[in-house]
Amino acid sequence: MTTVPVAAPVGLQAAAVQHPETAHVGHRRNKPLAVVSYLLMLVVVVIYAYPLLFLINTALKSNTEFLVNPTGLVQSPQLANFASAWRQGNFGAYVLNSVLYTFVAAGLGTVMSLLVGFPVARGYVKHPRVWQGLFAGMLFLPNTLVTVFQLALRLGLYDTALGYILIMASGVGVGPLLVTGYLSSIPREIDEAAAMDGAGYLRYLFTFLPKLMAPVLSTVFILQAIGVWNDIILATILFPDQTKWPVTLGLFAFKGTYTSQWSLLSAATLIVAAPLLVAYLFLQRYLVASVVGGAVKG
């Protein structure tokens, strides 16, 4: 079987790429295909990397250099752009707001997913099937912008950080479903053993389970955190008060003010993107797994 070039479940044209030196009838025909594949991959990478690199390039230019040479490679890099953008856009305050909203809302949402998912998965509450159906149904709801706004207004939560956090946290999406799904792989006997050793329900929920369920809980957290960090619409309708804005809204307003100062604007965009880029660099595997896991469940 080893002479058959397709040894792994790879798609079209894979044969020659995998064993380029194998003497095979298809060899001569497939070698150019490998070159084509590399060229295509290069095209894909350029299409995705170029916009980001161009952003960095622009962010480093002085205003004069941008006016003279808007698209060329930067000649004298200006790191001062970042300082001015940070100061003029008041990004320090916005970043702090975003960090607060993201961690509290995603943390709360994760705890909620666990609180409701665990007893439903184990049948510790009545009608687990009905609740399970409700979790799934919650993924297909109409656009609730108007009622969320009215609710916040009437509960006195309009223009408050608490209101925004509660609304963001309650958007648990696939969280409870992911939790119940994962729990089917954790035997009930572990619950029983912990209970025999005298662990109470809450202690089990908050000290034992998080260790057993770390992958799925981090997925739920990351998924929700990305959603909160990148939100712009709910923040727009709930926060007339600029001092409570998250960084996305701060950036959007900055664009309105400094319309044609592209270097400054690019520096500001990079400031907002930086935490995400750093997180992606270190947590790429988890981020990809989270987003895709969340999407497929939905």
# residues contacting another protein (CB under 8 A): 106
Which residue type sits at 78?
A: Q
Q: To the nearest whole angstrom, how small is the minimum distance from the Cβ of residue 16 to another protein?
A: 10
Q: To the nearest whole angstrom, how small is the minimum distance from the Cβ of residue 91 to another protein?
A: 13
Q: Give the Cα separation of 9 and 124 in Å (integer).
A: 43
Interface residues for another protein in 30-49 (CB under 8 A)?
Answer: 37-38, 40-41, 44-45, 47-49
Q: Is 11 in the site for another protein (CB under 8 A)?
A: yes
Q: Which of 82, 85, 171, 182 binds another protein (CB under 8 A)?
A: 171
Residue where the block lists tokens 């660099």: 281
Q: Is 96 in the site for another protein (CB under 8 A)?
A: no
Task: Tell which residue, 117, 114, 101, has the closest CA to residue 166.
Answer: 101
Binding piece for another protein, criterion CB under 8 A, among 52-60, 85-93, 99-107, 210-218: 52-60
Q: Is 276 in the site for another protein (CB under 8 A)?
A: yes
Binding piece for another protein, criterion CB under 8 A, among 3-11, 74-82, 89-97, 208-216: 3-11
Encode 49-87: b = buried (16+ Cβ within 10 Å), e = exposed: eeeeeebebbbbbbeebbeeeeeeebeeebeebbeebee
Q: Which is nearer to another protein, 211 or 285 (CB)?
A: 285
Binding piece for another protein, criterion CB under 8 A, among 73-81, 88-96, 195-203, 212-220: 195-203
Binding pattern for the stretch 122-151 against another protein, x by CB under 8 A and - elsewhere: -xxx--x--x------x-xxxxxxxxxxxx
DSSP assignment string, 227-259: HHHH--HHHHHH--SGGG--HHHHHHHHHHHTT
Q: Which of 132, 212, 255, 258 binds another protein (CB under 8 A)?
A: 255
Q: Which of 22, 55, 86, 210 binds another protein (CB under 8 A)?
A: 55
Q: Which is nearer to another protein, 100 or 205 (CB)?
A: 205
Q: To the nearest whole angstrom, how small is the minimum distance from the Cβ of residue 208 to another protein?
A: 11
Q: CA 74 → CA 103, 114, 255, 292, distances in Å?
A: 37, 50, 22, 37
Q: Which is nearer to another protein, 36 or 96 (CB)?
A: 36
Interface residues for another protein in 198-217 (CB under 8 A)?
Answer: 199-202, 204-205
Q: HSE of 144 in the Cβ direction (CA atoms, 13 Å)?
A: 13
Residue where the block lists tokens 């943390």: 107
First to last CA, the chain: 41
Angle value at C-alpha 290, between 131 and 107, nearest 5 degrees: 65
